[in-house]
Amino acid sequence: MSGDSPLYCVKMRASRDGAHISGAEKIVPASAVPGTAEALAARALAHPKGSPDDVRIKVERAGEILHLPSLPVRTYKTATAAEGMAKAAELLASDGVTRLPEIFARFRETYAMRGAMLLDADTLERLEPDRARGVRATYMDDAESAAKRSASGKNHYAEAIVLATKVQAAPGVIAEICVSDDPDYLTGYVASSTLGYCRITTIKEKGDPAGGRIFLYRGPREHVPETIRFLEKQCVLVEGVPVLAPPPEAPETRWRGLREDLDAVRDAGLWRTIRTCESAAGPHTRIEGRDLLVLSSNDYLDLARDPRVVEAAARAVREYGTGSGGSRLTTGSQPPHEALERHLAAFKGTEDALVFGTGYMANVGVITAICGRGDAILSDELNHASIIDGCRLSRADVLVYRHNDMDDLSRKLSACREHRRRLVVSDAVFSMDGDLLDLPRFLETTRRHDAFSMIDEAHATGVLGATGRGLCEHFSCGHPDILMGTLSKALGAEGGFICGSRLLVDYLRNRSRPFIFSTSFPPSVAAAADAALFVLEAEPWRAEAVRRNARALVGELARHGIRTRTESAIVPIPVGDETRAVRASAALLERGVWIPAIRYPTVARGTARLRAAVMASHTDEEIRFAAGAIAEAL
């Protein structure tokens, strides 16, 4: 195929400030030289390592050509670098190469080399005359290039097989180990004439820029110059280089894992479905045509359908439209957003406030803004998932302390003195148990350790305290540094908020990613929440009514022999087994009462429960009826 017309070696080398960026070579017929030179130049100029200031293309007439059959290829799948190196060691040991850990350690020296290390396989002496450069295998190509076309893009795989095939033909070379120095290319190989080309899918850690090649030599010293001459000068064309098959298109495999996970969810009694309520939120709804008494809503004060709240939202829709149009920092801030923030700050007694799209975003947004690497977050073991996710996303060290245990908290804080910042975060009302944070001791403990204090008042705002202002009012004590709450529960709207000092809120406006990078909720939502706050201020008896109803439900349940307790609107009814809890919830639906089963991962495995929540507008009669239905369903 190459005998009739002469072949040319076309080499490309690109560098910047004298530092090597990339290189490649092709052996092609004269007619393909211009196209090849152009393709190699394009490759040099578009190299991911950076743009070169010097690109050299060299064209030479090829000398005498040696044709070699390609090494056969085998692939070994490895998951980690350690596993990959162990595989390489095992393969080479079967080929008579020992001292592998020591050989691997030499890759530290090859990183800066453009060529390969030529190592005596037994004494581990380096044999290259120029140790900084190493030995370069050149004048080689896939015979396909010589037969027809010019160069295409970089193909690690085909180029490596060509090189490995030539190297194994060099006199005295018994094996090669190769690790790419592309930090994202984790596949390497070992090669020998008996093993062939053995790809090892993961041979180094992701992000590690150190790579290199080691050629292992066994033979007399006086033959080393001939080995190097062969590697650096002999023209080689490799025939039958295998084409790497594209990964099989296998939808069944792709989806199988998801299907199996879901089957396990179903088997464990953890399958979740959405039920659609065919009416406004409130103490009654219709589901699939049936009227139900709702004991599961967070709309504790029954404000989501209050005519004053609805009217405020409707007016805002007419005035400002349905969407806010952008992030608050671009175009998405309207007068209702600002009015609401002023109102929230006044209601909670803080300098300033900031609203977020959801309560989840408020928790994630404040925790990740305040804490990062090198900080410590101390989090109650029963905190809500949005707090847990904020902790995880922050990359801070997270210490989970025992539920409401201020002694445990204090001990853990003592262990974090070296951290830059300490943030202690707790639910005010624990959402699945209905109990309260011991706020006075929490504040005393966090102050003593100079830690930021944060409470999540999702289930406290509108429920606790004589006028529904939350946990601080309940205990008649001072404020934590960060007061988080939601607009979507007692305030009948949507969103989350942070109340605190002006410094804190300025910081969040500038640093909180969920705030900065989300479209704000529509002005009608802000208007609704604002109106709900006015209703609560005018009718504080609503907060008292919620607490009275919760106590009434606990009392009625006790009459049926069911023991539970609450300090909020949430009444947990313990069941234990996940499947039993789901069955009890279904039996309640049959009786016209809607109370959801709460299971893992919302609560610990084996502590499934019915989670009842009362509203201000439930009647005594409804509470009695619900308690009777619960007793029957369990």
Judged by the rule CB under 5 A, the positions of this chain that interact with Mg ion are 113, 212
Q: What residues line the site for ligand WAQ (CB under 6 A)?
A: 110, 113-116, 136-138, 156-157, 160, 163, 178, 180-182, 185, 187-189, 199, 211-213
Choose among ligand WAQ, Mg ion, none what residue 357 binds, the Cβ cut-off being 5 to 8 Å by kind. Answer: none
Choose among ligand WAQ, Mg ion, none what residue 365 binds, the Cβ cut-off being 5 to 8 Å by kind. Answer: none
Choose among ligand WAQ, Mg ion, none what residue 166 binds, the Cβ cut-off being 5 to 8 Å by kind. Answer: none
Of 200 and 546, CB closest to ligand WAQ: 200
What tokens were used for 591? 């009786």
What tokens were used for 409? 């908290």
Of 20 and 403, CB closest to ligand WAQ: 20
Give min distance, CB of 187 to ligand WAQ, in A.
4
**CB of 526 within 8 A of CB of 337?**
yes
Give min distance, CB of 37 to ligand WAQ, in A.
19
Of 47 and 441, CB closest to ligand WAQ: 47
286 forms beta bridges with 291
48 forms beta bridges with none
Of 212 and 390, CB closest to Mg ion: 212
Please give the C-alpha separations between residue 172 and each of 100, 121, 177, 622, in angstroms, as whole numbers.
Answer: 19, 10, 15, 92
CA atoms of 545 and 334, how far apart (whole Å): 34
Of 109 and 577, CB closest to ligand WAQ: 109
Burial of 349 from C-beta contacts in 10 A (0-12 / 13-18 / 19+): middle
List 343, 419, 459, 618, catalytic entry? 459
Phi, psi of 315, deg, nearest 5: -60, -40
List 489, 512, 524, 618, catalytic entry? 489
Collapsing DSSP to helix, strand or coil, 525 comes out as helix
Give min distance, CB of 237 to ligand WAQ, in A.
15
Choose among ligand WAQ, Mg ion, none what residue 332 binds, the Cβ cut-off being 5 to 8 Å by kind. Answer: none
Tokens 């070994």 correspond to 76
Phi, psi of 245, deg, nearest 5: -65, 140
Choose among ligand WAQ, Mg ion, none what residue 178 binds, the Cβ cut-off being 5 to 8 Å by kind. Answer: ligand WAQ
Q: Look up 431 and say whether it is catalytic.
A: yes
SS3 string, 151-212, reads CCCCCHHHHHHHHHHHHHHCCCEEEEEEECCCCCCCCEEEEECCCEEEEECCCCCCCCCCCE
Give min distance, CB of 181 to ligand WAQ, in A.
4
CA atoms of 519 and 600, how far apart (whole Å): 32
Give min distance, CB of 447 to ligand WAQ, in A.
56
Of 197 and 356, CB closest to ligand WAQ: 197
CB atoms closer than 10 angstroms to residue 245 = 6
List 150, 324, 431, 520, catalytic entry? 431
Q: Look up 459 and say whether it is catalytic.
A: yes
Choose among ligand WAQ, Mg ion, none what residue 182 binds, the Cβ cut-off being 5 to 8 Å by kind. Answer: ligand WAQ
Give min distance, CB of 266 to Mg ion, in A.
52
**CB of 449 within 8 A of CB of 414?**
yes
Give min distance, CB of 110 to Mg ion, in A.
5
Of 137 and 472, CB closest to ligand WAQ: 137
Choose among ligand WAQ, Mg ion, none what residue 509 binds, the Cβ cut-off being 5 to 8 Å by kind. Answer: none
Q: Look up 297 and say whether it is catalytic.
A: no
Give per-residue burial for 79-112: e unless 16+ CB within 10 Å, then b.
Answer: eebebbbebbbebbeebebebbeebbeebeebee
CA atoms of 559 and 52, how far apart (whole Å): 83
Residues serving a catalytic function are 431, 459, 489
